[in-house]
Amino acid sequence: MAQATISARIDENDKMAFDDFCSDVGLNTSAAINLFVKAVLRERRIPFEIAQASDPFYSDTNQLHLMKSIQELRDGKGTTHELIEVDDE
């Protein structure tokens, strides 16, 4: 079977850490990447979950806090403060 080459740009520190990991488990980098490719082809999907990191701003707890604060302001329970400007030196 003919061989082909894949090139990918990754962070230098990530590459070094990946190379070290592969070495620790008895693989070289090429073999580890081939394992990944074979798993993708066999399963017809990325063989691990890919999820967007959740933004804590939108957490249920924070949203409840914001809604409570907004209601307090609407009920006239807020405090007005003057803007304090600081000169950067």
Is residue 61 in a domain? no
At 38-71, the pLDDT tens digits run: 999 999 999 998 887 788 888 899 999 999 999 9
| Spatial distance between the Cα atoms of 33 and 40, rounded to a whole number of angstroms | 11
| pLDDT higher than threshold 70 for residue 89 | no
Please give the tally of structural domains in the chain. 1
* Residue 16 parent element (H or E): helix 12-24
Is residue 77 in a domain? no
Is residue 72 in a domain? no
Is residue 58 in a domain? no
At 21-40, the pLDDT tens digits run: 999 999 999 999 999 999 99
Tokens of 69: 């604060």
| Spatial distance between the Cα atoms of 5 and 30, rounded to a whole number of angstroms | 10
Give the CA distances from residue 46 to residues 6, 25, 29, 42, 54, in Å, rounded to whole numbers and listed in that order.
17, 21, 18, 10, 20
